Amino acid sequence: MDKGENRVEKLIITIAPTGNVPTKETNPNTPITPDEIVEDIIRCWNLGASVAHIHVRDKEGKPTCDRAVYKEILEKLEARGCDIITQLSTGARGGGEGVDPAEWRGQMLDLNAEMASLSTGSSNFATMVNSNSFELIEALAKKMYDNNIKPEIEAFDLGMIDNAIYLQKKGVLKAPMHFNMVMNVLGSVRGTPRNLLHMVESIPPGSTFNVCGIGPAQVPILAMSMLLGGHARTGLEDTLLYEKGVLATNTMLMERVLRLARELGREIATPDEARGILGLNKK
């Protein structure tokens, strides 16, 4: 006789279709224009994605934080009847050289989105520093809460979890916090089971967590997140290849996460179920 089922939340799948790094040259399936991004998000939403982690590009395809481009995407998703939870990136690679980073990276936070990413520390990227001072984190967090946007705390390292706990004690961040363990970025924590377990055990009780794994770390680390009761992110932002020598599409990556979830016994959350799990109350 077995011991019965452990109660585990339904799985929230986040699609990250574009990011700041992929290009048509490195993978021609990367959605770059607002219309391409909207189409890929809708395809993945139809498959079961409940959150869209959105980055935008300018007319030349370069990363930007341009509020007008975010607005266009949000309006087009709404016009198509897509109820996916929209999560806007406030990441450090969104351009804006020479402009105040809080203004530039937070310029879109007054739009009608439900979530935004918030890195709670600094680290290295391959060609630049992922620079996030406490002053910047606090300014972005304030604008998020002022607009009823829930931060997804991007932890590229264990110390960023400790920073989030510090900021929560200071009243800058609100419990329950939702984390994204960003693993296997060059310059940050490696995507290993031991590292993920340590990070998950370091978040405050009552928190929720998502995991993304860059490149070949993705499949094992998402499987482990599912086993630990966490959530899963996929998309071309996180891996350009489906496997060695095979360029991915966003839907191919979604379908693999769905197969993993099915085999590991995790049901898929609808957007409204994800709102319940994450405590969103905007719509």
What does 208-273 look like in DSSP terms, one character per residue? EEEEEE-GGGHHHHHHHHHHTT-EEEESTTT-SEEETTEE--HHHHHHHHHHHHHHTTPPBPPHHH
Instruction: Check residue 130 for interaction with Mg ion (CB under 5 A).
Output: no
The site string for Mg ion over 43-82 (x = CB under 5 A, - otherwise) reads: ----------------------------------------
Min dist. Cβ of residue 280 to Mg ion (A): 19
User: Residue 210, interface with Mg ion (CB under 5 A)?
Assistant: no
132 binds Mg ion (CB under 5 A): no
Strand 115-119 with 85-88, pairing: parallel
User: The dihedral of CA 100, 22, 180, 109: what is its sign?
Assistant: positive
In this chain, which stretch among 89-97, 134-142, 155-163, 247-255 interacts with Mg ion, using CB under 5 A? 89-97
Q: How far, in Å, CA of 261 to CA of 240, rounded?
A: 21
H or E segment at 259?
helix 250-263
Q: Which is nearer to Mg ion, 161 or 266 (CB)?
A: 161
Size of the site for Mg ion (CB under 5 A): 2
Q: How far is the CB of 149 from Mg ion (least distance, A)?
A: 15
Chain residue whose CB lies nearest Mg ion: 89
Contact between 120 and Mg ion per CB under 5 A: no
Distance of closest approach, residue 6 Cβ to Mg ion, in angstroms: 31
With contacts defined by CB under 5 A, name the span among 69-77, 87-95, 121-129, 168-176 that binds Mg ion: 87-95
**CA contacts within 13 A on the Cβ side of 23:** 7
Q: Contact between 89 and Mg ion (CB under 5 A)?
A: yes
3 state SS of 277: helix
Task: Give dist(CA 87, CA 114) in Å, integer.
Answer: 6
List contacts with Mg ion (CB under 5 A). Answer: 89, 91
